[in-house]
Amino acid sequence: MSYLIAANWKMNKTVGETLEYLDIFLPSIKDLKSVEIMIAPPFTALSSASIKIDAYKRENEVNIKLGAQNMYYVEKGAFTGEISPIMLNELNVDYVIIGHSERRHIFGERDDLINKKMISAVESGLRPILCIGETIEEREQGKTLSVVERQLRNGLSGIEKDLPFIDIAYEPVWAIGTGVNATPEQAQEVHLFVRSLINELSKGNDSKTRILYGGSVNDKNARDLIKEKNVDGFLVGSASLDPEKFYKIITETLEV
């Protein structure tokens, strides 16, 4: 199983800025074949990014995939402002981030909606990255593992057998965009717990499911985090917005 290093750009970068980024980034990752790289730009830039990546791949070998940051679970209809899985399929999108903490906490997404999105993504042939993680209050009350367990069981309800086509991202809410990352020990504790849970849910068929860490990952802490046995990659926010910094994070994971 190769590491997955994924970029979540959130609401950043216009089409022009996305193309400029790819001009720098794509040539830099040409020789990095042992790691899988994913970029999730905003919806508006997906089409241009997809065309650019496809054209580049025709001439060069690069292990990069495109991801979406969210989607709705219905194919089409009266859902103003939403994007459907078939729209993502059309753009050669491979991954979709589901249940990111900003979706949960700013936009009020709950486990049942997240579960519907997970089911729909799997049925549509997209590889979902299910995001889970506790708030600082929950951690201080000793509820970290129970919160993560609830989010995982509910998010995966009915699709446990599809776990080989799903990745998980553990992103403690208190570490996202704060500059305070989980320590490698804190990450490992939760990742180990998540690994045992998905092993149970999938009846042992979880060897293709990666558990990513997310939350203030940068080129300084990436190496220590990836050294942990159950950390299988990263979901990177702010540090992925600069192509050189993101490249540095990727190469840090290669040297372990």
CA 255 to chain centre: 22
If one asks whether residue 27 binds ligand PGA (CB under 6 A), the answer comes out as no
Among 171, 206, 219, 228, binds ligand PGA (CB under 6 A): 171
Which DSSP string corresponds to 136-167?
HHHHHTT-HHHHHHHHHHHHTTT-GGGGGG-E
The conformation of residue 239, written as its DSSP 8-state character, comes to G
Q: Is position 171 annotated as part of the catalytic site? A: yes
Burial of 156 (0-12, 13-18, 19+ CB in 10 A): buried
For residue 185, give Cα distances in angstroms to 114, 142, 194. 28, 16, 14
Instruction: Closer to ligand PGA by CB, 85 or 237: give it.
Output: 237
If one asks whether residue 96 binds ligand PGA (CB under 6 A), the answer comes out as no
Question: Considering only 35-43, 140-148, 189-197, 211-219, which stretch makes contact with ligand PGA by CB under 6 A?
Answer: 211-219
Distance, in Å, from the CA atom of 192 to the CA atom of 73, rounded to the nearest integer, reads: 30
Question: Considering only 57-65, 143-151, 182-190, 234-242, which stretch makes contact with ligand PGA by CB under 6 A?
Answer: 234-242
Q: What x-and-dash track marks residues 124-163 binding ligand PGA by CB under 6 A?
A: ----------------------------------------
CB of 203 to ligand PGA, least distance (A): 29
Tell me which of 102, 134, 171, 252 is the catalytic residue. Answer: 171
If one asks whether residue 183 binds ligand PGA (CB under 6 A), the answer comes out as no
The kind and range of the H/E element at 208 are none
Instruction: Closer to ligand PGA by CB, 56 or 102: give it.
Output: 102
For residue 103, give Cα distances in angstroms to 10, 24, 108, 113, 243. 11, 30, 6, 11, 25
Per the CB < 8 A criterion, the answer to whether 117 and 74 are in contact is no
- Tokens coding 243: 């192509």
Among 114, 236, 249, 250, binds ligand PGA (CB under 6 A): 236
Tell me which of 36, 100, 109, 138 is the catalytic residue. Answer: 100
Q: Which residues are catalytic?
A: 100, 171
- The contact set with ligand PGA (CB under 6 A) reads 8, 171, 176-177, 214-217, 235-239
